[in-house]
A and B are shown apart, each in its own frame.
Chain A
Amino acid sequence: DQQVKQNSPSLSVQEGRISILNCDYTNSMFDYFLWYKKYPAEGPTFLISISSIKDKNEDGRFTVFLNKSAKHLSLHIVPSQPGDSAVYFCAASAFTGNNRKLIWGLGTSLAVNP
């Protein structure tokens, strides 16, 4: 049973428009959320994160929104650029016992068309 779900395997957006990538989670113990980006033949790279005490975090063109009541977060990229074409992973973190677990979604492949 997936605790972190990215229900859209792929998304296609026109250059200059907004990209919205969604992520849903089931575990209310998650208290920290991260987005990673992955290009082919490379490892994931950190993009932006948000703590559960916040509902928004912004870094340049990237903004993450967290709706705890809906157990939903989203990543907004505006304006989208062709170089943003990659797979985007949502990850959620919680303490379990003595350790902190990071649970990953399956990813959403974003294509930004010129």
Chain B
Amino acid sequence: ETGVTQTPRHLVMGMTNKKSLKCEQHLGHNAMYWYKQSAKKPLELMFVYNFKEQTENNSVPSRFSPECPNSSHLFLHLHTLQPEDSALYLCASSQGRLASYEQYFGPGTRLTVT
């Protein structure tokens, strides 16, 4: 496997379910990100991890809970979501946190909350 992988690619869940999104990067990067892309809205940064430490939480509701056990893996735990949380969730990684470090994205998980 190369690059950034995300599983599952599609997820349908009820508002009372608990599920997790998984991201894995095989690039030796130190920083990992969760983004949300809703229809007709720009990409929104949710969380940033640098060397496994969370460095940013952009006012994300607590029903989204990230976990970064090591520099290669990132999870997004979901519980009691709302229909407006339906979106494309993208994971990305970069060598570091400088602007010049380009981010490499996974294909995303298309989440539908019913």
Give the docked Cα–Cα distance between A34 and B103 (Å): 10
What total of A-B pairs shows CB separation below 8 Å? 52
Task: Indicate whether A4 reaches chain B with its CB closer than 8 angstroms.
Answer: yes
What count of chain A residues pass the 8 Å CB interface test? Answer: 26
Query: If the complex has contacts A89-B43, A102-B45, A103-B42, are A43 and B56 also in contact, measured as CB distance less than 8 A?
Result: no
Within 1-53 of A, Cβ neighbours of B (below 8 Å) are at: 2, 4, 31-32, 34, 36, 41-46, 49, 51
Task: Indicate whether A61 reaches chain B with its CB closer than 8 angstroms.
Answer: no
Give the docked Cα–Cα distance between A46 and B4 (Å): 13
Give the docked Cα–Cα distance between A33 and B81 (Å): 34
Check if A43 sits within 8 Å of B4, measured CB to CB. Answer: yes
Check if A101 sits within 8 Å of B100, measured CB to CB. Answer: no
Which of A100, A101, A104 contacts B42, CB < 8 Å? A104
